[in-house]
Homo-oligomer: A and B are copies of this chain.
């Protein structure tokens, strides 16, 4: 051991060398998503998340502050795919319902993304703090941006009704797994759901 290495160890930071690495941040976020998924927001702890990530709890606080902020970061990451919705709308009104339904389902069909989305949904439905954060995110990041691009009366309400249909489909298909929806071919669902989304987003 070189003399330079000793002080850090003595300060009790076995993972100190990883403190500034981007992979530390990623490892903490991954552990957070997995802990929130398994235990829900209230029961997940910074200590447990640190243990799963293999880092000191102090590092979690250093990178993310409070549990609430850590949940927020996990949430933003989880919903990153939703941020492509304004892009989808930029493609013009024709076929927008179909593009949206297809993108939504293809996102949910990826197992690790699905696991994260279900975790957020579970936390939001059972914990007020998580519900407040999801509400804030959906209103501020999603509905505002989408509504700005819609040429319909009450664009926020229309955007939310379209979202509500997709959320409900995800609940029955991926969470409750009620048949025949759970096993239906995604492209068949795109064809069935697209007209409803199209109407909300474009019909004046």
Contacts and interface: CB of A to CB of B under 8 A. Distances in A.
Identify which of A158, A192, A196 gathers the most chain B CB atoms within 10 Å of its CB.
A196
A4 B122 CA distance: 53
Contacts of A158: 192
Interface stretch (A55-63, A80-88, A131-139): A131-139
Interface string A169-189: 101110111111100100001
Nearest to A173: B164
A163 interface: yes
Contacts of A178: 135, 138-139, 143, 160
Identify which of A131, A176, A199 gathers the most chain B CB atoms within 10 Å of its CB.
A176
Interface in A135-159: 135, 138-139, 143, 154, 156-158
Interface residues of A, number: 43
A184 B184 CA distance: 32
Interface of A: 40, 121-122, 124-126, 131, 134-135, 138-139, 143, 154, 156-158, 160-161, 163-169, 171-173, 175-181, 184, 189, 192-193, 195-196, 199-200
